[in-house]
Structure 1
């Protein structure tokens, strides 16, 4: 098999190892993606050489997980994770092996992997080492556990979420034995940290066949162990389009289910404050868009330009016709009268001086937002005197 140019530099790393007396292969997801015609991203290498020997062979080595046999080799500006062939024993914490033994046989190393499609090694000449017929699984578009699926899922229950995520990303089916084991072992997902589950869940939603993935979550009972989602009927709650990030997912579901808050999502899934801010930002935009179902200056003013793509995706997930939303928003943004509150010709100090007897409080921000709205929607001119007259005539009751 002719090897693709995408592996050129990785093959150079392998050649150096071979010339030093060792053996090495490209392994994992990059081989799977290459054989299935998908874009190849991170390239991992497995080797017969110890981490210490790899450190001797190469000048630039980062010992990221040396106790488990993994180092990062830097070569021509690229990073390659190089791991010594190993077998593992015992998974008391359902994640890390209790012991790791280095071996010199690539087939023994492949035996510890999760699914047959991920248990293929490729030489720098394109030869496949495929003891579990992973290439056949890829051609059949089938997700099949290596060996006994009950054992694979007991070792690391997150593999069940990975199976469902791969089904979503690759549009593969889960073979019957693996699916039965997934259903039987689903309760073990409760042993896995929510942070690890969150990573797989986000990837599932971004898969081209995400509806299949969500259906599998429901069918397998994995859904029962997912915060917030455990009470959903996914058949009734499908997004109409792919959602790529947690803040898009949260905005979609909190808009669709008003009884669920952004804060609840973030807290239960232990997500970052940045995700919370982005979710709330999108949700506020959705509430504005809901009123008129079109791009307005006020909507564009309230959203930062970096969120336009996410906003369009969430709208596509909610509504049938939202194509071209980003372009419309960018055109509208160019024509805005102001782009930020500081561009107003009437500021907080002007409000305070206009009403010196009124104690400072939330009313200042509320009034400034009202002024922003009038200016952005071109109801009044961004002119100090005109805004001042408008404020005087408007003058609602003070709210402290």
Structure 2
């Protein structure tokens, strides 16, 4: 059963018990845009306690704000009581929530016109704030006065920029003016929330849109952590990022101004990236700084190609080629893989001489020297100085030790 049908079943149960219920928000927007549906939000006249009694599996995810999560066939469906919000704190959180019985009153509290539409189980649309018109014109407008919406919640500034990157929409002039007015309020928002919006931007189809608006509103100069990479944002604006993989966008951005890597590292450190993601970005940045002129596969030595591997080589060449030539190279991961397969040695375990065999042959205690010696032998094999067979490697090792003794 698809997500729409699962949500429809929830609405049917609510209606059967005398309540109003509608699909709402991003679900409706994405249905009208024929975009993939990520999750389902339903608004209802039923109070949270009433919703809980109607379904077998319910999680009280935000019951104080009227939201519970109904689990249907393993799918989470957020169900929220019609509500209004008042007295926003720190340009972010409402100080009070009041439950109401009017769909229109509930939609009035939402941020953007395209997110303030509702749809019933029969796909009839309820649009009180020109949301359909905004979608048709591909423009981001607010529900009511933009000044009021951003005074309530400063995170909406980043949401507007993120939606422009995800949908390729422009932002209306009145919205931009209000974003400029309230930009410094963004620093009152938890960095985790701002970072989450930024990471979605970096995964979006139109990241240049976001960069354009960060610069136009001067958020890139005035708001932390973006002011850490103000110059980098200005420099990458001239490149089309859409053809880059998300990890490549990070690499290009953070190395765009190589004279100011402190700012790039400060920006990266400020974000709540997973350890895995942060390590991937740092490794790519390190490679880009180490090999800034590599734009072709043949520019790499066998030893460099061996150590970089397929993914790192692919990303490195694409970013450097874009920086140098303004275009992406005609290069595939398969071509890089084929290049690595031609190497006389593909991985360390393929070396014909093992560490314990070296220790036994040289009658030395195992230690740090084994790793260093293995690296020397790998380089020698890849550079064609010795064949990858045990007898030749032992002879090469003997000569290596002899040379070291002579130099002492």
* Superposition pairs of residues 73-92 of structure 1, within 5 angstroms: 73-92=70-89
Partner deviation per Cα, 1:350-392 (whole Å, 9 max, x = no partner): 455566679944x543443333334456653332332233334
Partners of 1:60 and 1:12 in 2: CA distance: 14
Between the aligned partners of 1:294 and 1:226, the Cα distance in structure 2 is 38
Residues 244/54 of structure 1: CA separation in 2 closer, same or farther (3 Å cut): farther
Q: How does 1:157-172 map to 2 (within 5 A)?
A: 157-172=154-169
Choose which of 371, 374, 393 in structure 1 pairs with 2:377.
371
| 1:328 corresponds to which of 300, 314, 335 | 335
Q: CA offset at residue 139 of structure 1?
A: 0.6
The match for 1:381 among 378, 387, 400 is 387
Name stretches of at least 5 consecutive residues in structure 2 with no aligned partner. Answer: none
Listed as ranges, the gaps of 5+ residues in structure 1 are: none
2:307 to 280, 302, 326: 302
1:103 corresponds to: 100
CA RMSD, Structure 1 to Structure 2 (Å): 3.2
SS of match in other structure, 1:59: coil
Q: How many residues align?
A: 393
Q: For 1:60-85, what per-residue CA distance to the aligned partner results, in whole angstroms no more than 9, with x for missing partners?
A: 11222222221221212322111111
Q: Is 1:256 equivalent to 2:256 in the alignment?
A: yes
Question: Which residue of structure 1 lines up, in the alignment, with residue 241 of structure 2?
Answer: 241
Tell me whether 199-208 or 105-114 shows the greater mean CA deviation: 199-208
CA distance in 2, matches of 1:354, 1:276: 42
Give the deviation of 1:284 after TM superposition: 4.7
Summarize the alignment of residues 173-192 of structure 1 with structure 2, pairs less than 5 Å apart.
Answer: 173-192=170-189
Aligned-pair CA distance for 1:136: 0.7
In structure 2, relative to structure 1, the CA distance for the partners of 1:378 and 1:126 (3 Å cut) is farther
Q: CA deviation at 1:315?
A: 5.8
Counterpart of 1:257 in 2: which secondary structure? coil
Task: Tell me the equivalent position of 1:269.
Answer: 271
Give, in angstroms, the shift of residue 283 of structure 1.
Answer: 3.4
Q: What is the deviation of 1:304?
A: 6.0
Using the TM superposition, give the Cα deviation of residue 278 of structure 1 relative to its aligned residue in structure 2, in angstroms: 0.9
Q: Residues of 2 paired with 1:377 and 1:26: CA distance?
A: 64
Contact conserved, 2:85 with 2:98, CA < 8 A, in 1? yes
Provide TM-score, normalisation by structure 1: 0.86
1:149 matched residue in structure 2: 146
Contact 1:289/1:299 (CA < 8 Å) preserved in 2?
A: no
Superposition deviation, residue 305 in structure 1: 6.0
Partner of 1:232 in structure 2? 231
1:124-157 Cα offsets, whole Å, 9 max, x none, are 1111111111111111111111112122112211
250-259 vs 204-213, which deviates more? 250-259
Alpha-carbon distance between aligned partners in 1 of 2:309 and 2:27, rounded to the nearest angstrom:
36
